[in-house]
Amino acid sequence: MQYDLFTSVPAFRLISLSSGSSGNCYYLGTSKYGILIDAGIGMRTLKKYLRDYGVAMETIIAVLVTHDHGDHIKSISGLGGKLNIPVYATETVHFGIERSKYLESSISASRRVIEKNMPFSIKDFQITAFDVPHDTIENVGYQIKIGEKTVVLITDVGRITPTIEEFAKTANHLIIEANYDEEMLLNGRYPQHLKQRITSGMGHLSNRLTGELLTSIYSNQLDEVWLCHLSQDNNHPELAYKTVEIALKEKGISVGKDIVLKTLSRGKPSGLREF
């Protein structure tokens, strides 16, 4: 773990404030500045969570948006509108946000357009967005570098692509979706069209496919993996963890020794990582 030598405080912190279809929001920050990735929880809850971790709202200098689904943009009007915090998204994702029923007031003054595969910087954060297939007009993952460390977030993943593998390989800390257990979804109460949507290659990622991705991209630079966006109906945290753990073990990668693995709880802060 890399600490500032003089103050012995962490150089930066990563927090999962909420994960899952009821709302997704991550915080990444240094002692001076912070950014949010997605803003899928209500403003009041978001403010409370940040306060609980001692993060002042005034230190938030950007919100990065993956895509326009409600569970990722619920408080985007509050952040981008009322608080005028810059909202970073691709042109297409901005278009999606603008026509979304979750947008309560205009965020045009805080609109910042980014391009996929074009690195950009905000203060100490070096950021690259990349394409992630999902059933919306556009969805991106984010690679964020602070100093020597790289955090990669990939959520709402229809299928694994070479681009996803390429970016996942760069991570020291990876947040990756493990949405559903294949058997639970198959035998569950969801209507057939919804089951098809989820498994279509434009929906979400199963525990099994997440395990396969991790075994194929693993190297000793990958320190920690957080499994995110677990389905309430078609998954259990223990099942997601076990499925991925077994997949890794089959390739000789030992959870706890070679890699730290965590599942993020739905709808409440759960992960905290200090670098």
Judged by the rule CB under 5 A, the positions of this chain that interact with Zn ion are 69, 71, 156
* Gap between the Cα atoms of 16 and 81, Å rounded: 23
Q: Which is nearer to Zn ion, 71 or 245 (CB)?
A: 71
For residues 212 and 206, the answer to whether their CB atoms sit within 8 Å is no
Q: Which is nearer to Zn ion, 110 or 179 (CB)?
A: 179
CB of 134 to Zn ion, least distance (A): 5
Q: Which is nearer to Zn ion, 69 or 262 (CB)?
A: 69
Please name the amino acid found at residue 2.
Answer: Q
Q: Which is nearer to Zn ion, 71 or 138 (CB)?
A: 71
CB of 87 to Zn ion, least distance (A): 17
Gyration radius from the chain CA atoms: 18
For the beta sheet containing 120-122, the strands, ordered from the edge strand earlier in sequence to the opposite edge, are 120-122, 125-131, 140-146, 149-154, 173-177, 224-228, 260-263
Q: Which is nearer to Zn ion, 93 or 259 (CB)?
A: 93
- Return all residues near 162 (Cβ < 8 A) that are at least 6 apart: none
CB of 129 to Zn ion, least distance (A): 16
CB of 41 to Zn ion, least distance (A): 12
Q: Which is nearer to Zn ion, 107 or 157 (CB)?
A: 157
CB of 135 to Zn ion, least distance (A): 7
Helices and strands, number each (H, E), in the chain: 9, 14
CB of 158 to Zn ion, least distance (A): 10
CB of 42 to Zn ion, least distance (A): 16
For residues 30 and 146, the answer to whether their CB atoms sit within 8 Å is yes
Place of tokens 């009041």: 44
For residues 100 and 122, the answer to whether their CB atoms sit within 8 Å is no
Q: Could you tell me the CA-to-CA distances from 208 to 176, 185, 214, 215, 232 in Å, in that order?
A: 12, 12, 10, 11, 17
* Gap between the Cα atoms of 125 and 140, Å rounded: 17
Q: Which is nearer to Zn ion, 18 or 128 (CB)?
A: 18
